Amino acid sequence: MAEALKAEGNKAFSAKDYPTAIDKFTQAIALDTNNHVLYSNRSAVFVALSDYQHALDDANKAVEIKPDWAKGWSRKGAACRGLGDLVGAHDAYDQALKLEPNNSQFKSGFDAVKRAIDSEARADRVSGDPTAGLGGLFDDPQFFQKLASNPRTAALLNDQEFMTKLRHVKDNPNSMGEEMRDPRFLQVLSVLLGIDMQFPGAPPSGQEEPDEEMPPLVPDPEPEPQDEETISKQKAQAAGDAEKKLGNDFYKKRQFDEAIEHYGKAWELNKDITYLNNIGAAKFEKGDYQGAIDVCEQAVTEGREQRADFKMIAKAFARIGTAFEKLGDLTVAIENYNKSLMEHRTPDVLAKLRTVEKAKVKAEKDSYISSEEAERARELGQQKFQEADWPGAVEAFAEMTKRAPDDPRGYSNRAAALIKLMAFPQAVQDCDEAIKRDPKFIRAYVRKSQALLAMKEYNKTLDVLAEAQEQDDKGAHTREIEQQQQKALEAQFSARVGETEQETADRIQRDPEIMSILQDPVMQSILQQAKGDPSALQEHMKNAHVRMKIQKLIAAGVIRLGR
């Protein structure tokens, strides 16, 4: 849910619906209080609203949760700058650059703050007219080149009227105060000082785009001249991506060896762990699971050193887990799936983890199965039972159910021991397990009826015995079943001895099963017929189902015989 709310917040931010974005990120934080990205994203929205104090609070929380996360320090830099704390902004951007020295956005923010600090320092050295110290800016030999190279002022150089004013101020800086009413001079000073002079509500210069591919708040500035190192990295990236594309083409054709060759060349040209992950995917698809593990472990190590995107590291861990799953090492597979989820939580990896956890439990159970050990446990259980060591018998028969989970005898025998311990509900559950494994196992029905009879569940006892009769095709257990039925009926008769007719009527009204029998149209017809011809009742009792219902009515006192 937190991920879904974050996505909604990002969408609202993109649409510049800042109140909704704040609300979504706040709800997400309530569900996932230790997610540094959520605080960072909300900080970006607060900056867009010029609410710099709240932006700073969220940025501080982000770096508190993840101190080595450079983006969080850049958020703090933007918030401090909005509050006018240039020193704090300088220190925050400096920390961001220490963590990611080559990040151009962090460099831009740091340079902008540094220029602002230098500008304030120059202004502090000037006394008297507040604009007097600015006159020196117009003596810069690259004065016009700076204006021409910046898109905000380049067009002004084509305005002859403005150029006349500009030359006048350049020749006579003391006249600047008169011209400051012209907003175009603010643009000129902004470029010369290296700081932004914007209307209230605009975000400070150097604001980078928020996380999760949210769009920038302001148009990207004109790129500064690139040094040789930057150009070299861009060329390496382009060359690596070109090899990756060739690898992808072979991968789609399932020509994995060729794909691996091109992904390897991509890695040699540009140390991006995406290429290593791609090699891992190709090795996995060709069945080289150990090879996939090795290269993905390399991706994790390299990714840590490069401070790569945590999503890419999560992907490497997930593939390691899948490879170990294929190799049958479910324990290590689970470890790596958990590592992946710690880096970045995704539904597909979570589903894989749950599946492997279930498979591991089943594998452990299957590995414990042994017919020989089950037989030893059964013999031990019988010995304990004969010695009247009921707890010992329960323990032995429990071991039998683990060693032979499909053998109904283990559950039925344990039920017999549980009945001796008067643990009747547990005995009923064990009998149900035995019947589930073998519906023809009559001994389990009989033992279940014994437990129910002890619980004074007379009607349920009779129902279980009726089921036993249906399953006893050859009638091998007829006598035992009928004896148990007679015990249940006698117990039910005994339970109502001494009742008045009114007490019997009240009890019948409270018995839902007896009332259900009485409301059965077939039984109503039989009972009506029996009133006129009692001998007809005997004829109907030849049907097993009808006989059982009539016996229940007799036992409950609805039908009275022998008067």
The three state secondary structure string of 402-437 is: HHCCCCHHHHHHHHHHHHHCCCHHHHHHHHHHHHHH
Q: Tokens 């070109």 belong to which residue? A: 242
Within 13 A of 252's CA, how many CA atoms are on the CB side?
5
Phi and psi for 17 in degrees, rounded to 5? -90, 75
Distance CA 183, CA 256 (A): 63
Helix (H) / strand (E) containing 267: helix 256-269
Phi and psi for 265 in degrees, rounded to 5? -65, -40
Distance CA 425, CA 211 (A): 58
Q: What is the DSSP string of 386-400?
A: HTT-HHHHHHHHHHH
Phi and psi for 481 in degrees, rounded to 5? -65, -45
What residues does CATH 1.25.40.10 cover in the chain? Answer: 2-121, 228-367, 369-494
What per-residue confidence (pLDDT) applies to 202? 38
What per-residue confidence (pLDDT) applies to 387? 95
- Structure token digits, residue 254: 């399932």
In CATH, which of 3.90.170.10, 3.90.600.10, 1.25.40.10, 3.40.1370.10 is domain 369-494?
Answer: 1.25.40.10
Q: Which of 362, 298, 360 is nearest to 335 (CA)?
A: 360
What per-residue confidence (pLDDT) applies to 473? 86
Q: pTM of the predicted model, to two decimals?
A: 0.41
Distance CA 82, CA 50 (A): 7
Per-residue pLDDT of the chain (563 residues; tens, 9 = 90+): 778 888 888 888 888 888 999 999 999 998 888 888 899 999 988 988 888 899 999 999 999 999 988 888 999 998 888 887 888 888 999 999 998 888 888 888 888 888 877 766 655 544 444 444 555 566 666 667 677 777 767 777 777 777 777 777 766 666 666 666 676 776 777 666 665 444 333 344 433 344 443 434 433 333 444 456 777 888 888 998 999 999 999 999 999 999 999 999 999 999 899 999 999 999 999 999 999 999 999 999 999 988 888 999 999 999 999 999 999 999 999 999 999 999 998 899 999 999 999 999 988 888 888 999 999 999 999 999 999 999 999 999 999 999 999 999 999 999 999 999 999 999 999 999 999 999 999 999 999 999 999 998 888 898 899 899 889 988 899 999 999 988 988 887 787 777 777 887 887 888 888 888 888 888 888 888 877 777 777 777 778 778 778 777 877 777 765 54
Determine the CATH number of domain 228-367: 1.25.40.10
Architecture of the domain spanning 2-121: Alpha Horseshoe (1.25)
Helix (H) / strand (E) containing 142: none
Distance CA 177, CA 180 (A): 5
Q: Mention every residue, 6+ apart, whose C-beta is less than 8 A from residue 250.
A: 256, 258, 259, 262
The domain defined by 501-563 folds into 434 Repressor (Amino-terminal Domain) (1.10.260)
What per-residue confidence (pLDDT) applies to 524? 86
What per-residue confidence (pLDDT) applies to 142? 66
What per-residue confidence (pLDDT) applies to 198? 45
